[in-house]
Amino acid sequence: MVESQKYDVAIIGAGLAGIFAGYELTSRNPALKVIMLEQGTPIEERSCPIISKKVESCINCKPCAIMRGFGGAGAFSDGKFNFTTKFGGWLNDYLSDDEVMRLIEYVDSVNQIFGATDEVFSTATPQADIIRRKAISLDLHLMDAKCKHLGTERNREILEAQAKWLEGHLDLSCNTKVDEISPLSVGGYRLDTTIGQIECDYLIAAPGRSGAEWFADQCHKLKLPMINNQVDLGLRVELPAIVFKEITDAMYEAKLMYRTRQYKDVVRTFCMNPYGYVVTENTDGIITVNGHSYTDPALRSENTNFALLVSNKFTTPFNEPYQYGKRIASLSNMLGGGIMVQRFGDLIDGRRTNAHRLPQSFVHPTLDAVPGDLSLVLPKRHLDNIIEMMYVLDKLAPGTANQDTLLYGVEVKFYSARLRLTSDLETTLPDFYAIGDGAGITRGLSQAGASGVQAARSILKKISK
């Protein structure tokens, strides 16, 4: 047990941001005394009973293995690693595009040491250009990017290798909750945790999406000024893989953006999973939907799934976008007892999908969700935006708006309100850094890892002076 110990650096959270902060610190300065604190379980113990087919629906494991544990929320993702500054976070609000790309390339090089693939999908191909031209004629905008698909199973193997390496270079304490962050009068910070008090000279907060609300509360107590951030809210679409085959064969994942004619809101595709599975996430009892896919052909399904998300960035006086997303997700949980699923045709016809109509669908669901009516859950504006996007996508990939296309709800991406940070991602409190998705500055694996490297290098520079 670690109790009342002093460290050079403490890292809260063992998601991608925390992992790469820890790797950079200890690989470049092995003499540093570093502790990494993670509320969830070690990576080898993370197991979702739904994914392992032990149960058919969420049983509210505490903590949820999908959302918490070494590897963070990305551990059960299909491991999409995007090489771009156009999406995946807001690091280029602090650094130049060139600096962000150098950090992302570095993170990828480290991942390859631990077994990541060198195969890259790209939108810079003749096949992608054909799709781009067709998309632009429909007012759909294909975002330029390179992408690696690590795969759900391979992603976990990489994380297991990284955990093993870190255990030999720092103190990794899983199943450890941080209750309070307190500045020390002599400099540095004290953390009140479930394994006792930890003191450190430098603090890196990488709370992840599941820790975003806790981190926002800590920041309010510390009187750190915060910038209101957005919440992404929408549905997950599941359809036969052949519908998007031309697109996914060309670039694996298409990031498509569309501004609706009715409301002028931006709707985007997110987390496209060719031959994948729809899965659930549980954030403090709030069940939301997500998706993943495997690299092994033997593990693939016959369907492709992706999210359609509408971003809301609220203005004053409203300052709780996190709560807004949670309330809508909890309404879905209340009506459906978890995730709801509806046939697109039933949604358009204004009727709920029921247990009789769902089995008649030509699209076989990969998640055992409750048939229902999503129009009772999503705000009308969001639903109108998503329906309009479905019809536009149908022109790009005929079959998208078929009667039997399945819609799962809801999908919510939570981001903490963003702190005022320096280009090194240091807060207004000296030697206190905030990184990753939970700090509201990234929303993906590549930029999360890059933010960890940036903060670690700043600390190394200070220590070396």
Three-state DSSP string of the chain: CCCCEEEEEEEECCCHHHHHHHHHHHHHCCCCCEEEECCCCCHHHCCCCCCCCCCCCCCCCCCCCCCCCCCHHHHHCCCEEEECCCCCECHHHCCCHHHHHHHHHHHHHHHHHCCCCCCCEECCCHHHHHHHHHHHHCCEEECCCEEEECCHHHHHHHHHHHHHHHHCCCEEECCCCEEEEEECCCCCEEEEECCEEEEEEEEEECCCHHHHHHHHHHHHHCCCCEECCEEEEEEEEEEEHHHHHHHHHHHCCCCEEEECCCCCCEEEEEEEECCCEEEEEEECCEEEEEEECCCCHHHCCCEEEEEEEEEEECCCCCCCHHHHHHHHHHHHHHHHCCCEEEEHHHHHHCCCCCCCCHHHCCCCCCCCCEECCHHHCCCHHHHHHHHHHHHHHHHHCCCCCCCCCEEEEEEEECCCCEECCCCCCECCCCCEEECCHHHCCECCHHHHHHHHHHHHHHHHHHHHC
- What local confidence, expressed as pLDDT, does residue 77 receive? 75
More confident of the two residues 226 and 346 = 346
User: How many angstroms separate the CA atoms of 227 and 51, rounded?
Assistant: 37
Same domain, 349 and 422: no
Residue 132 lies in a domain: no
User: How many angstroms separate the CA atoms of 191 and 85, rounded?
Assistant: 34
User: How many angstroms separate the CA atoms of 183 and 429, rounded?
Assistant: 9
Same domain, 257 and 400: yes
Report the pLDDT averaged over residues 235-264: 96
- What local confidence, expressed as pLDDT, does residue 230 receive? 72
User: How many angstroms separate the CA atoms of 356 and 300, rounded?
Assistant: 27
Q: Which of 24-33, 57-66, 138-147, 205-214 has the lowest mean pLDDT?
A: 57-66
Percent of the chain with pLDDT over 70: 93
Q: Which of 58-62, 155-159, 228-232, 405-409 has the lowest mean pLDDT?
A: 58-62
Residue 108 lies in a domain: yes
Whether the predicted pLDDT of 279 surpasses 80: yes
- Binned at pLDDT 50, 70 and 90, residue 339 comes out as very high
- What local confidence, expressed as pLDDT, does residue 1 receive? 44
Q: 363: which 2 tokens?
A: 């699209």
Residue 139 lies in a domain: no
- What local confidence, expressed as pLDDT, does residue 157 receive? 93
Residue 214 lies in a domain: yes
Whether the predicted pLDDT of 389 surpasses 60: yes
Same domain, 369 and 325: yes
Which range of residues forms the domain containing residue 201?
5-120+146-227+416-464
User: How many angstroms separate the CA atoms of 22 and 169, rounded?
Assistant: 9
Q: Which of 74-83, 191-200, 296-305, 427-436 has the lowest mean pLDDT?
A: 74-83
Report the pLDDT averaged over residues 175-197: 96
More confident of the two residues 344 and 334 = 344
Cβ burial 272-300 (10 Å sphere, 16+ → b, else e): bbbbbbbbbbbbeebbbbbbbbbbeeeeb
- Binned at pLDDT 50, 70 and 90, residue 52 comes out as low
Whether the predicted pLDDT of 2 surpasses 50: no
- What local confidence, expressed as pLDDT, does residue 211 receive? 87
Residue 277 main-chain phi, psi, to 5 deg:
-130, 145
Whether the predicted pLDDT of 283 surpasses 50: yes
Same domain, 292 and 281: yes
Same domain, 197 and 52: yes
- Binned at pLDDT 50, 70 and 90, residue 229 comes out as low
Report the pLDDT averaged over residues 19-37: 98
Same domain, 181 and 44: yes
Residue 300 lies in a domain: yes
Q: Which of 35-44, 183-192, 310-319 has the lowest mean pLDDT?
A: 310-319
Q: Are 290 and 199 in contact (CB under 8 A)?
A: no
- What local confidence, expressed as pLDDT, does residue 190 receive? 97
Sequence-ordered list of residues with C-beta below 8 angstroms from that of 102, at least 6 positions apart, any chain: none
User: How many angstroms separate the CA atoms of 399 and 333, rounded?
Assistant: 29
**CATH number of the domain that 202 lies in?**
3.50.50.60
Q: Which of 59, 270, 81, 82 minimizes the C-alpha distance to 159?
A: 81
Average model confidence (pLDDT) for the chain? 91
- Other CB atoms within a 10 A radius of the CB of residue 3 amount to 9
Count the domains in the chain.
2
Report the pLDDT averaged over residues 6-19: 97
Residue 343 lies in a domain: yes
Same domain, 402 and 429: no
Residue linked to tokens 């870190």? 166
- Other CB atoms within a 10 A radius of the CB of residue 316 amount to 6
Same domain, 446 and 399: no
Q: 282: which 2 tokens?
A: 């549980």
Same domain, 103 and 40: yes
Same domain, 111 and 17: yes
Same domain, 400 and 273: yes
C-alpha to C-alpha distances, 460 to 119, 336, 434, 454, 463, nearest whole angstrom: 32, 50, 16, 10, 5
Residue 137 lies in a domain: no
Sequence-ordered list of residues with C-beta below 8 angstroms from that of 422, at least 6 positions apart, any chain: 94
Whether the predicted pLDDT of 128 surpasses 50: yes
Where residue 103 falls (left for φ over 0; alpha for ψ -120 to 50; beta otherwise) is: alpha
Residue 140 lies in a domain: no
Q: Which of 11-15, 272-276, 414-418 has the lowest mean pLDDT?
A: 414-418
Q: 239: which 2 tokens?
A: 């359809």
- Convert the pLDDT of each residue in 106-121 to its tens digit: 999 999 999 999 999 8
Residue linked to tokens 């595709």? 269
Burial class from Cβ neighbours inside 10 Å (0-12, 13-18, 19+) for residue 56 reads: exposed
- What local confidence, expressed as pLDDT, does residue 53 receive? 60
Same domain, 25 and 170: yes
C-alpha to C-alpha distances, 151 to 74, 155, 175, 183, 352, nearest whole angstrom: 11, 6, 26, 41, 34
- Convert the pLDDT of each residue in 428-458 to its tens digit: 999 999 999 888 899 889 999 999 999 999 9
The dihedral sign for the CA sequence 432, 225, 417, 83: negative
